[in-house]
Amino acid sequence: MNGNRWQKELTGIYAVWWRELKVFQREKSRIVSSIVQPLMWLFLFGTGIGASVNISAVNYQDYIYPGVLTMSVLFGSVFFGLYIVWDRKLDVLKAVLVAPVSRISIFLGKVLGGCTDVMLQIIILFLFSFLFPSINPWGIPLAFLLLFITSIALVSMGLALGSLLESLEGFQVISSFLVFPLFFLSGALFPIDEKLPGWLVGLVKLNPLTYAVDGVRGALLNVNIFPFYIDLGVITFFAVIMFLLGSILFSRMK
């Protein structure tokens, strides 16, 4: 009986995950734009700024490559999570929520679905890594792991916010006051060194994404500020907190 129950919950998680993948497959234009946007950061922004900026041992484009990967995870994950506001508005979620599957399983299915979407995009971006000479391909599995944990944290955060929001108007607010600050304050585009003003260093160090960028940069370029175990520890802690918070808010959602 108990084993049967577990199996039903697992099937429920699989069902929600499977649905997200189907939706992902159908939204080809979204996939294309989610690949093209980071490539523009790398090749247009990176080449432009890189022409007049000199950072550490590697060229600027290589330097921001880990930052742009993290940015893709950030945008993809948070907006995936926030999308449930729309699902709720259209009652798509209603039929799922009355099924004999626990809320936590539905939440887990959603998180895994979002992470899968985002990591598929990351795999495509990894295919371009050969264009950046300083990238160490052997560091990719470790970078992938760090980004995957980051994605769990951020999809959970998006779902948590999506559970609280009543309408899509909150989208813009979250984008301006949460997502962009998280990105700009993560050291994705600039190094955190003595040239930065103190207040900025303080904010950057408070941002959990800083540790994701640092860890991925360490894995791919061997350029990092914090020891690897700190990076891994901070983002894992961040993921656990966000997952718990998200599952609580999602369970209470009406």
Partner 1 sequence: MSIIETKVLTKTYGRIQAVRGIDLNIEKGEIFGLLGPNGAGKTTTIGMLCTIIRPTSGSASIAGYDIVKNPASVRRKVGIVFQDPTLDTVLTGYENLKLHALLYGVPANLREKRIREMLELVDLADRCNDLTRTYSGGMRRRLELARGLLHRPAALFLDEPTLGLDPQTRTRIWDYIKKMAQKEQTTVVLTTHYMEEAERVCDRVGIIDHGRIIALDAPDNLKELMGGDLVVIRAQEPPAKKIKALPYVKEVKLDKDAIEITMKDAHLHLPELLSIIPDVECVEIRVPTLSDVFIRLTGRDIREDSAEDSGSWIDSVARYRQRGN
Q: In the complex, which residues of this chain contact partner 1 (CB under 8 A)?
A: 7-8, 11-12, 14-16, 18-19, 22-23, 26, 90-92, 94-96, 98-101
Local structure of 227: helix, strand or coil: coil
Q: Compute the least distance from the CB of residue 101 to partner 1, in Å.
A: 6
* Residue 185 phi, psi (nearest 5): -95, 15
Residue closer to partner 1 by CB (options 6, 130) is: 6
- Residue 116: in which H helix or E strand, if any? helix 103-127
Of the candidates 87, 36, 67, 95, which has an alpha carbon nearest to the alpha carbon of residue 186?
67
20 CB burial (10 A radius; 0-12, 13-18, 19+): buried
Residue closer to partner 1 by CB (options 101, 220) is: 101
Q: Compute the least distance from the CB of residue 168 to partner 1, in Å.
A: 13
Residue closer to partner 1 by CB (options 19, 205) is: 19
Residue closer to partner 1 by CB (options 34, 61) is: 34
Q: Compute the least distance from the CB of residue 33 to partner 1, in Å.
A: 17
Give me the residue label for tokens 């520890």.
Answer: 233
Q: Compute the least distance from the CB of residue 135 to partner 1, in Å.
A: 36
* Residue 90 phi, psi (nearest 5): -90, 5
Residue 245, CA atoms < 13 Å, CB-side half-sphere: 18
Residue closer to partner 1 by CB (options 132, 171) is: 171
Give me the residue label for tokens 């199996």.
Answer: 7
Number of Cβ within a 10 Å radius of residue 60:
21
Give me the residue label for tokens 């649905």.
Answer: 19
Q: Compute the least distance from the CB of residue 58 to partner 1, in Å.
A: 42
Residue closer to partner 1 by CB (options 108, 232) is: 108
Q: Compute the least distance from the CB of residue 105 to partner 1, in Å.
A: 10
Counting every residue written for the chain, the total comes to: 254
Token pair for 51:
């022409």
Residue closer to partner 1 by CB (options 42, 101) is: 101
What does the CA dihedral 122, 147, 238, 7 come to, rounded to 10 degrees? 80
Q: Compute the least distance from the CB of residue 93 to partner 1, in Å.
A: 8
